[in-house]
Structure 1
Amino acid sequence: MSSTATTVARPTGKPPATPRLRPPRRNAPRRSPRSILLTALTGVVLLYSLLPLLWLLISATKSQQGLARSFGLWFDGDFALWDNIVETFTYNDGVFGRWLLNTALYVVVGAGGATFLAVLGGYALAKFDFPGKRAVFAVVIGAVAVPGTALAVPTFLMFSKMGLTDTPWAVIIPSLISPFGLYLMWVFATEAIPGELMEAARIDGASEVRTFFQVALPLLAPGTVTVLLFTTVATWNNYFLPLIMLKNPDWYPLTLGLDSWNKQAATAGGEAVFNLVITGSLLTIAPLIAAFLLLQKYWQSGLAAGSVKE
């Protein structure tokens, strides 16, 4: 008989070494031509948006003579930003400050009132049922599609018969209507305010007014800020409506006042003050940029409202 010899490995006190496995090779993701094209287009849009702002910032540092003797996108030897700011506020008996106050008045009363009415209307359309609701929806959508310039002349004729032209009310009253703000608040209130929360407030004995101000309004804060920013920008940059409504320069907003300074050079014996026009334009957009930077977290969330359904 033949015997089979078996060899038994003796333990050495150390665990057997496990072979190392090489991790699978991962190919680096390659950027598709579409991604490269989108990146290039984004860069072009970014350059298109920032280049005028850069030109405005650089040109505001130049004097009237420096604008003519220097390249547009580079500084002049004489840095005159502070002198331009002082002269802008003191030129023509300080009328720029008056225009700034007029614009602030139109924004506070007009844009603030438009935001408040849009919040009230959007909340009512989103949370209450009443006859004619679909007709109201159709009217709101139609009003969003109509440009404001198409209504300027009929508004002027109506205000002329009422004797309101060449007064601040001719600019404030049309600014109180914001169809887009109303539609945005309608969509936002539909998703932001749970119906159960309103029912709980009513069961606890809260009136409709108290329910709106203490329960619904805090939930509508992102949408409210978004509408406020849109109406503020629209009122701050409003040009055509004040142009046909106002004749007295004392009631001009900044847009109309700076345009009158710009046209001075084309009139007989007029003084060219392009450096003041550019500096005034920079001072005009500075509050809008600050408002967007400080409130961006609110209006970004407001714009995203209703984009995702649970």
Structure 2
Amino acid sequence: MATRPLVIKRRPARTRRSATLTVLTTLMLVYTLLPLAWLVINATKTQEGLLNSFGLWFTGDFALFDNIATTFAYQDGAFTRWLLNTLLYVVVGAGGATLLATLAGYGLAKFDFPGKKAVFATVIGAVAVPGTALAVPTFLMFAGMGLTNTPWAIIIPSLVSPFGLYLMWTYSADAVPKEILESARVDGSGEFRTFFRISLPLLAPGFVTVLLFNVVATWNNFFLPLIMLKNPDWYPLTLGLYTWNEQAATTGGEAVFNLVITGSLLTIVPLVAAFLLLQRYWQSGLAAGSVKE
């Protein structure tokens, strides 16, 4: 009589839960979302309601749309000018920095040349230097060239991204197989054509990751415009909203804290939208190279 083979059914593994990890995650979530909630709630208040109410709760008057309209109309549409200036700095500065970092990182990863180790050490050293430490030397250099108080004083420094260069260097090393490049060269494809037609699509996740970092850094740039610009017509949003906030401390200045808060809320909307739209590329870019075959 044939015997049936013994089948052992395994129970599905239980998901391990850590109370400490749950508490820490909750605290970090509250720490992250609480300022955003405060910003959204207070953007719905008038100037009087803002000063006479609890910061984390609404008042009887819902003034969000009035605040938005007043923000764009205040000082002859200064907010719109600052928004367009910020877009200019982001498109030209952050976009150019991402393209240069991608080209340089790809070249350093795929080509050998004398002094490559020295370049690597220079890039690592540049990543470790904070931007504020270079602000004063940069100002003195641009002042000597007569470029202060112009858009170039913001755009040109934004084109340099040591961290983006290092990230694209490490990402390009694994994302673009050497066999594909050798096949393209055998077929007679030039290096620039190979890069734009073959390599760049493979580098898209890393490219988008670096682009997001550069966009956030340029969009939130404050100290460099503060020392470089005197003409309010060239202010970015960060510096423009700062001047509105400081009005209350000047003699005869008008307090427009409700417009500052509303403008701050409008300022972060494009960044949030960019992260949500490009999230899948960003996540895949950060995970690249973490697993080797």
* Superposition TM-score, scaled by structure 2 size: 0.95
Deviations, residues 148-169 of structure 1 (Å, cap 9, x unaligned) = 0000000000000000000000
Supply the AA of the counterpart residue of 1:249.
P
SS of the residue corresponding to residue 76 of structure 2 reads coil
Give the match's secondary structure for 2:79. Answer: helix
Shift of 1:309: 1.5
Determine the structure 1 residue equivalent to 2:184. 201
Structure 1 residues 200, 277: closer, same or farther in 2, change over 3 A? same
**1:95 equivalent in alignment to 2:78:** yes
Report the counterpart of residue 50 of structure 1 in structure 2: 33
Match of 1:162 among 118, 123, 145: 145
Structure 2 counterparts to residues 14-93 of structure 1, below 5 A: 35-93=18-76
1:213 pairs, out of 186, 192, 196, with 196
- How far apart are the structure 2 equivalents of 1:25 and 1:110? 57
Paired AA for residue 258 in structure 1: L
Map of 1:151 onto structure 2: 134
Provide structure 2 residue ranges, at least 5 long, that are not aligned to the other structure.
1-5
Residue 94 of structure 1: SS of its match in structure 2? helix
Indicate the SS of the match to 1:206.
Answer: coil
Residue in 2 aligned with 1:235? 218
- Aligned with 1:301 (options 281, 284, 288): 284
What percent of counterpart residues are identical? 76
Shift of 1:39: 1.2
Q: Structure 2: how far apart are the matches of 1:266 and 1:189?
A: 51
Pair 1:252 & 2:249 matched: no
Which of 63, 71, 88 is matched with 1:105 structurally?
88
- Measured against aligned partners, the alpha-carbon deviations of 1:119-152 in whole angstroms (never above 9, x if no partner) come to 0001000100000000000000000000000000
1:191 equivalent to 2:174? Answer: yes
Cα shift at 1:28: 9.0
Shift of 1:308: 1.3
Structure 1 residues 64 and 204, CA gap change in structure 2 (3 angstroms): same
CA distance in 1, matches of 2:260, 2:64: 13
Query: 1:72 is aligned with what amino acid?
Result: G
| 1:55 Cα deviation after fit | 0.5
Partner amino acid, structure 2, of 1:174: P
Structure 1 CA distance for aligned equivalents of residues 171 and 33 of structure 2: 31
Aligned residue identity for 2:111:
F
What amino acid is the match of 1:52? Answer: P
Q: Matched residues in 2 for 1:26 and 1:227: separation?
A: 44
Distance 1:152-1:26 versus aligned 2 partners, 3 A rule: same
- The SS at the match of 2:23 is helix
Shift >2 Å, 4+ stretches:
23-32
1:262 equivalent in alignment to 2:240: no
Q: CA deviation at 1:38?
A: 1.2
Distance in 1 separating the partners of 2:12 and 2:100: 57
- Higher helix content, 1 or 2: 2
Counterparts of 1:124 and 1:27, CA distance in 2: 48
Deviation string for 1:57-93 (max 9, x for gaps)? 0100001011012211111100000000000000011
> Match for 1:297: what amino acid?
R
* TM, length-normalised to structure 1: 0.90
- In the TM superposition, residue 29 of structure 1 has moved relative to its aligned partner by 5.1
Cα distance, 1:294 vs structure 2? 0.5
